[in-house]
Amino acid sequence: MPPTLHLVRHAEGFHNCSWHGESIHDPLLTEKGEAQCAELCKNFPYHDKIDLLMASPMKRTIQTCKLSFKPAVEKGLKIMLMPLAQESSNEPMDTGSEVSEIKNMFGDLVDEHRITDVFPHWTSNCGRFDEDPEVMIERATMLRLFIRDREEKNVVLVSHGTFAHAITGNFSREGEQLTRMWENAECRSYTFDEGEGAKIIETEESIARRPDLERKDSPQAK
């Protein structure tokens, strides 16, 4: 049976609140962002069930995963760094750091195998990591298939605001986000459709955690 996916947008980074924040290379979380992680950690209902932590290899996503899912980290789970989950743009804010810098900051907490052996060119922002909408949709499908076929039963994935729309299928081939931008540190839970493309379906419990869904996700709110 496919796992349940708990998909999270990273907490507030310095690029989110700075003038021309897109020019900040691989920004860290702000103090407010760290507080958002603490709030998510307090309210997340399934800490005891998590058996895989994944994050885009950006500092802000790794930090969000570490701080928001402390119980899983404390029981020894590493964070799998997954380039397929990274944001798509050529801006410095969405360009990753050297592996040595990531390891220096996070040490053995991270499993860097996929950014050294599988996707060594993940910081190039081209090819599979291009910002072309068609490429993003294809990459999101690859990511969903990878997660769907895992043996783990409850997977956390920390990604980004725009790419979350591609993962959930709320992203057009013209690059339009079809629902509202996710809030920083927003978490939603999904089950998998076992058909082609490994589409995901938000759980009723997850929908109930955000009672303003209908208002914010309406076309008028875009």
Cβ–Cβ < 8 Å for 120, 128: no
Two tokens, residue 181: 């931008």
| Cα–Cα distance, 168 to 145 (Å, whole number) | 13
| Cα–Cα distance, 7 to 62 (Å, whole number) | 14
> What is the per-residue pLDDT for 213?
47
> What is the per-residue pLDDT for 140?
96
Cβ–Cβ < 8 Å for 122, 57: yes
> What is the per-residue pLDDT for 88?
84
> What is the per-residue pLDDT for 204?
93
Distances (CA, A) of 103 to 57, 58, 115, 201: 11, 12, 11, 34
Q: Evaluate whether the domain defined by 4-221 bears CATH number 3.40.50.1240.
A: yes
- The rounded average pLDDT for each run of 10 residues, N- to C-terminus, in the chain (222 residues) is 95 90 94 97 96 98 98 97 94 94 97 94 91 94 95 97 93 85 95 86 90 47 32
| Cα–Cα distance, 100 to 106 (Å, whole number) | 10
> What is the per-residue pLDDT for 220?
34
> What is the per-residue pLDDT for 212?
62
Distances (CA, A) of 142 to 52, 61, 79, 97, 138: 18, 20, 19, 23, 6
